[in-house]
Amino acid sequence: MKFDVEKFMAEIIAKNPAEPEFHQAVREVAESLEDFLNDNPKYIENKILERIAEPERVVMFRVPWVDDKGEIQINRGFRIQTNSAIGPYKGGFRFHPSVTLGSLKFLGFEQTFKNSLTTLPMGGGKGGSDFNPQGKSDMEIMRFCQSFMTEMFRHIGPETDVPAGDIGVGAREIGYLFGQYKRLANQFVGVLTGKGREYGGSLVRPEATGYGTVYFAQHMLALNGEEIRGKTAVVSGFGNVAWGAAKKLHELGAKVVAISGPDGYVYIEDGITAEGVDYMLDLRASNKNIVSPFAEKFGAKFIAGKKPWEVKCDIAFPCAIQNELGIEDAKALVANGCKYVVETSNMGCTAEAVEYLVANVEFAPGKAANAGGVACSGLEMSQNAEKRSWTAEEVGAELAKIMKGIHETCVKYGKSADGKVNYVKGANIGGFIKVADAMIAQGIV
């Protein structure tokens, strides 16, 4: 029995039409795993990849709510419960107009491998809505979250499925979602992560994704005898993940010369300051979804309608959204001397860009580099289960240890004979094995 990527993909595409992002995510994994599967036929015989690519359950529902003008609004809600072989489904909610069934299926698929890489007992899932928080009042956001949870609550639970935040879902939204869950379920339990400190949230969770990706970058650099201090970095986005990355990069002495938004990018010649990092939080909280006010406030240059990949840097951190970095962007980065691209958004680079970057720089895929967020969510679940809170030092040390472990896993499975590490291959194989072995052990379910 041989694993044939093209035959496998033809079936995936036929079965999941009009879901290009899902096809992209599955193809990348299938290509990475091809040789490994052919060397380990038990995974082919058990149809493990075919099974992982079929979510265990998909929930899709209507979310009606009333806006501030009294008009009825209808959004669509989803939860993709991709895989529970190694733990309860775990993964964020995304509120963004681009959300579709296919985009969440790709995210749930990626999450399954990512969560496995953390070594913590978490299965894979993802959910969200096409609701657009941009320009909405606080009360509109609350009413939306309550309506969304009114259906969602029956599908989740601390031992079943534990959602968290993602794009458009931060501490405020998690608070409203948690409040409604508690009211409906009549239980105060760790059903969501990314909660506020006062009601079961973990220290370091807000920073964890951004810190984790910088820790991962440090290990990549160390393999080449280099360090973060003194390096020039470009970060895309200005949300929670970009904020955490910029904060840690600044703290470690790197120079962050750009951040970006859907409106363009800000070029910060001397590098972002601590005040600049803090201001990113205000920008996100304003619900305007534009980055240009940063340039006005700090006297930096705003380049409208452009992506930041044209800025010269040593390390690039895509921290915004899938496929934000295409082949032309990848070429521009390499032409400007960039040596490391640490993908921090989920599938932030197009397939073409990934292929080019793997060949020309050190490239880390999001499912490895951004796993610090969900890893810290796993630590929040542990704290909730034992009904205590760990110190920032305890959580931070665990996070650093987990990121180091993920880097080692990528090297273990991604190192080729010439010594070069293919992090994409390493992450995909490393994430696959635990899920696959657990699935075989549990039978055909």
| Contact status, residue 72 vs residue 66, Cβ threshold 8 Å | yes
Burial 119-149 (b: 16+ CB within 10 A, else e): bbbbbbbbbbbbbbbeebeeebbbbbbbbbb
Strands 232-235 and 315-317: parallel
Position 178: which residue type? Answer: F
Beta strands in 86-130 (DSSP E): 89-95, 124-129
Instruction: Tell which residue, 352, 359, 347, has the closest CA to residue 329.
Output: 352
How many residues form the binding site for ligand 2IT (CB under 6 A)? 11
Residue of 23, 79, 90, 172 interacting with ligand 2IT (CB under 6 A)? 90
CA atoms within 13 A on the CB side of 36: 20
- Closest to ligand 2IT by CB, 180 vs 377, is 377
Write down the least CB distance from residue 90 to ligand 2IT, Å: 5
Write down the least CB distance from residue 17 to ligand 2IT, Å: 25
Write down the least CB distance from residue 345 to ligand 2IT, Å: 9
In 53-100, which ranges are continuous DSSP H helix?
A: none
Q: Does 32 bind ligand 2IT (CB under 6 A)?
A: no
- Closest to ligand 2IT by CB, 118 vs 232, is 118
| Contacts (CB under 6 A) with ligand 2IT, residues 362-391 | 373-374, 377
Separation of alpha carbons 25 and 88, rounded Å = 22
In 129-230, which ranges are continuous DSSP H helix?
A: 138-152, 171-185, 205-223
| Contact status, residue 429 vs residue 394, Cβ threshold 8 Å | no
Using CB under 6 A as the criterion, what x/- string covers residues 406-445 for binding ligand 2IT? ----------------------------------------
Write down the least CB distance from residue 47 to ligand 2IT, Å: 26
| Contacts (CB under 6 A) with ligand 2IT, residues 326-365 | 346
| Contact status, residue 23 vs residue 12, Cβ threshold 8 Å | yes
Q: Does 266 bind ligand 2IT (CB under 6 A)?
A: no
- Closest to ligand 2IT by CB, 93 vs 356, is 93
Q: Which of the following is catalytic: 126, 255, 307, 425?
A: 126
- Closest to ligand 2IT by CB, 175 vs 264, is 175
Separation in Å, CA 178 to CA 89, 212, 266: 17, 25, 35
Residue of 19, 166, 314, 324 interacting with ligand 2IT (CB under 6 A)? 166
Active site residue 126: yes
Q: Does 92 bind ligand 2IT (CB under 6 A)?
A: yes
Please, which residues have CB within 8 angstroms of residue 123's CB and are 6 or more apart in sequence?
81, 82, 83, 84, 85, 86, 87, 88, 89, 90, 112, 115
Using CB under 6 A as the criterion, what x/- string covers residues 172-211 for binding ligand 2IT? ---------------------x------------------
Choose the stretch contacting ligand 2IT; rule: CB under 6 A; options: 84-92, 137-145, 289-297, 423-431. 84-92
- Closest to ligand 2IT by CB, 125 vs 276, is 125
- Closest to ligand 2IT by CB, 258 vs 319, is 319
- Closest to ligand 2IT by CB, 268 vs 410, is 410
Using CB under 6 A as the criterion, what x/- string covers residues 93-132 for binding ligand 2IT? ------------------x---------------------
Write down the least CB distance from residue 76 to ligand 2IT, Å: 19
Write down the least CB distance from residue 166 to ligand 2IT, Å: 4
Q: Does 164 bind ligand 2IT (CB under 6 A)?
A: yes
DSSP codes joined into one string, 265-305: EEE-TT---HHHHHHHHHHHHTT----HHHHHHHT-EEEET
Residue of 91, 128, 308, 430 interacting with ligand 2IT (CB under 6 A)? 91
Choose the stretch contacting ligand 2IT; rule: CB under 6 A; options: 45-53, 87-95, 219-227, 232-240. 87-95
CB atoms within 10 A of CB 286: 12
Separation in Å, CA 275 to CA 250, 270, 280: 11, 13, 9
Separation of alpha carbons 129 and 147, rounded Å = 12
Instruction: Tell which residue, 313, 279, 319, 282, has the closest CA to residue 299.
Output: 279
With CB atoms as reference, the residue minimizing the distance to ligand 2IT is: 92
**Which residues here bind ligand 2IT, judged by CB under 6 A?**
90-92, 111, 164, 166, 193, 346, 373-374, 377
Which positions are annotated as active-site residues? 126
